[in-house]
Structure 1
């Protein structure tokens, strides 16, 4: 079961890379909530996808490089770097630790993400 959840997270991230919003959203429960370290509190799924579309729209390309995945029943904790290339050519990475919680049907019910953008060539 834990490998199945890890694979679901990978499929979800691949859908985001392809900007396949319908596929990504289909992997989430309608009541799913999202938290980011931006101080704004929880977002609804609708707010989350609106923000993703705007953010990802700034980039020429994005790619998720998974560093590690840890799982337990009902959840996956993952560390990854989102490699981004802006339309201006600037490159960087969004370093993130994300927890994905799943319901019994295998749908994402909660995403909690701590992320930090670092331009290419700089260190944290």
Structure 2
């Protein structure tokens, strides 16, 4: 499905509008972003994804900024341009500075490099790490 299938609020059915309204209220935004508009073509997927994301990203043992930084890191690793942009914006809103962003990118790069090395060399896991 391509971006030409975005479902705008005024064209959405009541089920999709209810999810859009929840997103707007939860995130305190005037409109939902294109990710949700695209998923709206499949309301089951829209509802399930929104409920899961809302639950996972809600306050918990990790603060909002930490969760957004993790989301950016995974998005960079998965090469998802959309999620990188979306969650970088959310991380900035939650307090991420330019210096933090630079360090985050360094950590992502290093983790990917050492992960590939450990995988390629098939390094056995140390007993001390298995506790």
Please state which structure has a larger fraction of its residues in strand. Answer: 1
Q: Pick 1 or 2: higher relative contact order, CA cutoff 8 A, min separation 6.
A: 1
TM-score for the superposition, normalised by structure 2: 0.27
TM-score for the superposition, normalised by structure 1: 0.28
Please say which structure displays the higher CA radius of gyration: 2
